[in-house]
């Protein structure tokens, strides 16, 4: 059972906007920044969003992140078939001295 | 370009040991925290351990405390994970990761598979 809570699945059609939620607590999301990762089938995770809403170089601006209190969300606009992947949220946890992850959300592009 | 290359995975019997290595390049290794993160087959990501730049601080997830040891050699730009008393539930792909200033991974290796089975 993961420390951060994400919906197990999400879906959308090409061109649509989808959001994925991530819920935590005061020891993680409530007091630290959130990162999001994309994991394509059979590959290592890739950083998508850091510091709640910042995109690394090369990540399309279709991906955006936000945080409020002990929750965060990832939004993907203009959905494309290549966005079909697993998405994970993460945040530093003050009680663990390490990051905690969500259980992952499998995004299906219909 | 940041590169992280893990090695050392394989099949090991319950109770056995294994040492994972991670060769880092493309960044100043000695100035970053580093982590190991694992992913059991068909499951999500789980942080395992991390280590400070000079090795003076190390932290572990409860399930591996006393069995796993993280270490680094800054002269060789390498990160290690010594895994003892392995259990079936340790079966996973183990990723080496460079941490950003918030303590979360920003670069990941390709992973190495550890299978604990008799």
Q: What is the pLDDT of residues A78-93, one digit of tens each?
A: 999 999 999 999 999 9
Strand ranges (DSSP E) for chain B?
Answer: 3-7, 10-12, 18-25, 34-39, 45-51, 58-60, 68-73, 78-83, 92-99, 105-108, 112-116
Chain A residues close to B44, C-beta within 8 Å: 2, 88, 101-104
pLDDT at B15 over 90: yes
Query: Tokens 């351990």 — which residue?
Result: B49
Residue A48 touches chain B, beta carbons under 8 Å: no
- Is A92 in Cβ contact with B35 (below 8 Å)? no
- CB proximity list for A87: less than 8 A, separation 6 or greater: A6, A20, A36, A37, A38, A39, A48, A74, A104, A105, A107
- Is A90 in Cβ contact with B44 (below 8 Å)? no
Task: Count Cβ–Cβ pairs < 8 Å, chain A vs chain B.
Answer: 69
Three-state SS at A24: coil
Q: What is the pLDDT of residues A32-64, one digit of tens each?
A: 999 999 999 999 999 999 999 999 999 999 999
Residue B16 contacts residue B8 (beta carbons within 8 Å): no
């Amino acid at each position: 059972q993961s420390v951060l809570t994400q919906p197990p699945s999400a879906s959308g059609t090409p061109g649509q906007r989808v959001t994925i939620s991530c819920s935590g607590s005061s020891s993680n999301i409530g007091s630290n920044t959130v990162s999001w990762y994309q994991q394509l089938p059979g590959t290592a995770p890739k950083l998508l969003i850091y510091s709640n809403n910042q995109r690394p170089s090369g990540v399309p601006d279709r991906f955006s992140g936000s945080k409020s209190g002990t929750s965060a969300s990832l939004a993907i606009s203009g959905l494309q078939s290549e966005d079909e992947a697993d998405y994970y949220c993460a945040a530093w946890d003050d009680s663990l001295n390490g990051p905690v992850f969500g259980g992952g959300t499998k995004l299906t592009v219909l | 370009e940041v590169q992280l290359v893990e090695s050392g995975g394989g099949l090991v019997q319950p109770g056995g040991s294994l040492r994972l290595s991670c060769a880092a390049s493309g960044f100043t290794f000695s100035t970053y925290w580093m982590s190991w993160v694992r992913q059991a087959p068909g499951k999500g990501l789980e942080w395992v351990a991390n280590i400070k730049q000079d090795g003076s601080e190390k932290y572990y997830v409860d399930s591996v405390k006393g069995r796993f040891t993280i270490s680094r050699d800054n002269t060789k730009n390498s990160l290690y994970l010594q895994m003892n008393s392995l259990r079936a539930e340790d079966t996973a792909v183990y990723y080496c990761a460079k941490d950003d200033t918030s303590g979360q991974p920003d670069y990941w290796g390709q992973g190495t598979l550890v299978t604990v089975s008799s």
